[in-house]
Amino acid sequence: MPTKKSSRSVAVTSYYQLQQSRRTKSLEQRLADDPPGGSMIYYWDPSSAQFLAADNVTVDPNVKTGTYVLQASVYNFHASSNDMNNLFSNNTNNVQINFRAEALQNGELITWIVNAALSTAQEFLGGSDNQSVSVGNSQNQLTNIPAPQDQITVSDGEVTISLGLQAQRKDGWWDKFLKAIGAVANSPMFAVVPMAKLIGQTVDAVTQMTDKIEEGENLVPILQGNKMDCEIYQTGTSVNPYVLRAGWWLMANYREISPYVDWNSKENLKQGIVLDFGSGQYDVIDNNNNHAPIDVTFAIIKLTLTTKTS
């Protein structure tokens, strides 16, 4: 039987823009070295009312050893003024979302891939700057996998996740494909296509297919997601550099978010940069600047972990 570490050594493709976890590379280093389109991940810590850099998140002491089901929901996509002008102002592009999770089951690496499409039509834009697409309703779950046996299951406390967002031409082949097999009614997230419990050559086939789609459809990276190798409780043996907690997560363009970083607090966001629950828009606002939404391209994701009972 392969070891846990070697089992996770799988190929990834340009379509998902996946790279190894970057705990050893600071935001300051990334600003100097990395190309545009990259992202940083932050966890909303309710106890401190602050967004914590992913490096600084600690294990939830209430999450005990066991088997958990992971679910991910999109609550808001916000375009910066730059991306709004360049990508969305002429109403020709939608947002494509790609979510991926990997976990071991009985010694075998299992992969879940979810593709979704988010409309940026004028009727869905909101927030005080009219640059947000709020998806805070019952149709916002990326991981809506009906069969319980196919849901994202974390059995050993370790999971690898990634998220990527691209601009996609409206009514292109990919838009039509997603609508044909995963249409969602009455929601700006108008299509969700989950591919559950993929293994081995099936994963390779799916990623090769999506590579070809990327080449033909001219997808424009908006937020490129790195792999995050996580533990959800202290296993005692994990070498994963990140902790995954249930709750609210911010994925933000790393260049645009840099002015909001507190460089003296381990690259957490500044106090006063908060998640606005009151409006139902789930914007990230700056309480130090008249509660205005930050001028950053970002997505708000809610992760839940529930104990698997059977």
Residue 245 CA to residue 57 CA, distance in Å, equals: 8
Cα angle: 298, vertex 299, 300; to 5 degrees:
130
pLDDT tens track for 237-286: 777 889 999 999 999 998 899 999 999 988 999 999 999 998 888 999 99
Taking phi over 0 as left and psi of -120 to 50 as alpha, with beta for the rest, 300 belongs to beta
CA atoms within 13 A on the CB side of 152: 27
Q: Which helix (H) or strand (E) holds 248?
A: strand 247-253
**What's the CA gap between 251 and 77, in Å, rounded?**
10
Confidence of residue 57 (pLDDT cuts 50, 70, 90): very high
Count of helix runs (H) and strand runs (E) in the chain: 6, 18
| 103-107, 114-118, 166-170, 254-258: segment of lowest average pLDDT | 166-170
pLDDT of residue 24: 47
Which residue's entry shows tokens 């082949």? Answer: 173
* CB contact set of 151 (below 8 Å; sequence gap of 6+): 69, 70, 71, 143, 145, 196
The owner of tokens 């050594």 is 9
Q: Which two tokens stand for residue 300?
A: 């708000």
Local structure of 88: helix, strand or coil:
helix
Residue 201 has pLDDT above 70, yes or no: yes
pLDDT value of position 271: 96
In the chain, where does DSSP find H-type helix? 4-7, 27-33, 81-83, 173-182, 200-217, 254-257
Angle, helix 173-182 to helix 200-217, in steps of 10 degrees: 130
DSSP notation for 172-194: SHHHHHHHHHHB-SSSSEEEEEE
Does residue 269 contact residue 54 with C-beta atoms inside 8 Å? no
Largest CA distance in the chain: 58
Average model confidence (pLDDT) across the chain: 82
How does pLDDT run across 124-179, given as a tens digit for each residue? 888 889 999 988 776 788 898 888 889 999 999 999 999 988 888 887 766 777 77
Q: Could you give the CA distance from residue 305 to residue 65 in angstroms, rounded to a whole number? A: 12
Asked if 295 and 256 touch (Cβ cutoff 8 Å), the reply is yes
